[in-house]
Amino acid sequence: MAMPHPSLRVKTVLAALGLLLPLLITCVAGVFLSNSPSAGWLFPALGLLGAGLALCIIALNNWLVLRPLRLLTRHVEQLANRQGAERRITLGGAGEIGHLATAFNTMVTEVEQRNSDLQASEQRYRIVSEFSSDFIYWRRPDGSFEFTSPTCREVTGYDVEDFYQRPQLMEEIVHPDDRHLLDAFEQQAQDGVCPGGELEYRIITQTGAIRWVRRVCRPIHDDNGRYLGRRGSLSDVSANKQLADQVSHLVLHDLLTGLPNRSLFTDRLTLTTAHAVREQGLLAVLFFGLDRFKLINDTMGHEIGDRLLVMTAERLHKLLHSEDTLCRFGGDVFAFLLVGRESKHEAVTMAYRVLASLNDPFALGGQQQALLTGSIGIALCPNDGKNAETLLKNAETAMYEAKRGGKNSFRFYTREMNAQAAEMLTLDTSMPASLANGDFYLHFQPQLAIRDNRLVGMEALLRWRHPELGFIAPDRFIPLAEENGFIIRLGEWVLRSACFQNDAWIRAGLPPLRIAVNISGRQFIEPDFVDQVAAALADSGLPAELLELELTESMLVSDEQQSLQRLRLLKKMGIQLAIDDFGTGYSSLSYLKHFPLDRLKVDKSFVNDILTDPDDAAITEAIIAMAHSLKLQVIAEGVETMEQLAFLEDRGCDEIQGYHLSKPLSEHDLVSFVTARQRAAL
């Protein structure tokens, strides 16, 4: 039970009483007993009584003062073991002790409140550090750590203690290549105060792994503005960085080949060109386009086309020097940026290496393989351009010039090419109008059977008289029409015109002659090609055996199955089938056995040197012998002299075509030529 405690004032009065009372008693006794005989013993007795009383009063007072203090002391000692309301003390009374108890209880309540606030804050901190994978820290102005979160281990591999013991570890783990970033950051610090901000750099973790981290750092000041250090966090952003790298790689690289794309290439070229112009250095841009790739794509399918592009990219990549860049510029065109090549000669060497890299056939699995060639255009900085745009344009122009010049070769850019390129563009765009306006027409070159010196046929050769540019040779416009696809319409027109013309001649009384029509690869793979031929025959009324189609080796071998199927259908209709320019293409002779062919046309390049070049003579002889063994006829084209004819006759060649017999003739001249020979034969 709590005892009521007197106030301190009461206790003070009691204490005073304890001191004054013996004095008072002694004084009173002294006054009354000064004349008494018993004063001698009574005075000390009273003194003793007073002292006894005083002691009692003092003892009572002490008890009254010290007891609540003792209670308080015991309560404080046991405070840690008490909970809730037990932590409050009740000392009773209203005086100072009561105030003390109230003050004590208030203090306990406040401490409890602060404790619970602290616990809540700790809880919050725990939640943050539990669910945050960031390494959070506080560093004092001298760099030592006031605090590090345990997640430092996850981010850096090092323990909290490692950082406490060796604060400079934080700087030591920065990747040497990125230290300059931190140095620059530190330089911004004013009077050693952290400037605050974000940085991304690499660290080397305790296991030696490289990680990207983002550091966020802020200065800490107290209420008086005194700098207390910096707080910050280190987040592992390796995954983000990797993703960002992947995205930027995707944006700047070609998906199929993995090579830099046009945009990255152009950026690099812009930088390198600016540098080369400044430093008077040299660089070369080399454009490399695969020849007839569209045909391969159309015949073999896009999947194989893609595989071939990937394999080509791999071969080209092996040719690069460390400073060079190779990109897929688009479609079947690759571009090289050759840096610091000392001379034109080095660009030539590279061009030869690029062409040679395609020498080996590309294996496509099983028996299937493909042979590719390419054409190269080269532009040199500074001669052919001092900026990326001009160099690219000129290298491309030179590449198309190489393609037109017969493919599988390279050309350096020349100023004249620009004029030619402009002309090509004019030609390119004016083809449809020319076809509609009758600017295209046919010439016919007679063919002769050597054995009986008899005309057996003629080849229809396309001509174009451009309304502004005049006569354009087929070697210039046919490749263009093949590139832009107009050859499909043009070829069909030639086929129909040739059939109608030949039929008209027969109906006009001329002896029936075979008419040979050149077929382009693009035309041959048209799904309705066989129907087109059938329609041309049916509409014109020309007997099928008087039509010959001239095909090339490359178009047959690119998709042997489909070619075989088409040739069989055509053969079934009774049409004659010849291989043009024989010996210049794939020279894979195995297909000759399978295809239902009638005739091989020995290319005029062999015939041309037949008398001077033993190799050409041997090749021609071999072609004739082989064709005969396969029961095929042989016609030699480009026969210009009597001697060539004699040689061919001697080797058993069946037919000839060439200037020796006649140049290609107009419709009118052919009639005259044929009737003149008819008359001569009579």
3-state secondary structure of 582: strand
Question: Which residues in 48-153 belong to E strands, given as ranges?
Answer: 135-139, 145-148
- The position carrying tokens 């250095």 is 281
Residue 148, both tokens: 């590090």
434 near ligand C2E, judged by CB under 6 A: no
518 near Mg ion, judged by CB under 5 A: yes
Site for ligand C2E in 540-579 (CB under 6 A): 550
Read off φ and ψ for residue 388, nearest 5 degrees.
-60, -45
Site for Mg ion in 633-672 (CB under 5 A): 637
Site for Mg ion in 537-556 (CB under 5 A): 550
How far apart CA 556 and CA 594 sit, in angstroms, is 11
Q: Which of 464, 664, 670, 674 binds ligand C2E (CB under 6 A)?
A: 664
Identity of the amino acid at 497: S
616 near ligand C2E, judged by CB under 6 A: no
658 near ligand C2E, judged by CB under 6 A: yes
492 near Mg ion, judged by CB under 5 A: no
254 near Mg ion, judged by CB under 5 A: no
581 near ligand C2E, judged by CB under 6 A: yes
- Binding track over 106-145 against Mg ion, x by CB under 5 A: ----------------------------------------
Site for ligand C2E in 334-373 (CB under 6 A): none
Task: Tell how far CA 133 is from the center of its chain.
Answer: 31
How far apart CA 501 and CA 458 sit, in angstroms, is 12
Cβ at position 657, least distance to Mg ion in Å: 9
How far apart CA 328 and CA 309 sit, in angstroms, is 9
Quick one: which segment of 133-141, 185-193, 321-329, 631-639 binds ligand C2E (CB under 6 A)? Answer: 631-639
Binding partner of residue 6 among Mg ion, ligand C2E, none, CB under 5 to 8 Å per kind?
none
Q: Are 404 and 322 in contact (CB under 8 A)?
A: no
Site for Mg ion in 570-599 (CB under 5 A): 580-581
| One-character DSSP codes across 212-238 | EEEEEEEEEE-TT--EEEEEEEEEE-H
Single out the residue of 654, 580, 584 nearest to residue 624, CA to CA.
654
Our CB check for ligand C2E shows the closer of 64 and 460 to be 460
503 near Mg ion, judged by CB under 5 A: no
479 near ligand C2E, judged by CB under 6 A: no
604 near ligand C2E, judged by CB under 6 A: yes
With 0-12 / 13-18 / 19 or more C-beta atoms within 10 angstroms meaning exposed / middle / buried, residue 284 is buried
H helix or E strand, kind and range, residue 287: strand 283-290
- Binding track over 51-90 against ligand C2E, x by CB under 6 A: ----------------------------------------
Site for ligand C2E in 515-534 (CB under 6 A): 518, 520
Buried b / exposed e across 378-415, counting CB within 10 Å, b at 16+?
Answer: bbbbeebbeebebbbbbbbbbbbbbbbeeeebbbbbee
3-state secondary structure of 382: coil
Contact positions vs Mg ion (CB under 5 A): 518, 550, 580-581, 637
Contact positions vs ligand C2E (CB under 6 A): 445, 461-462, 473-475, 478, 491, 494, 518, 520, 550, 580-581, 604, 637-640, 658-659, 664
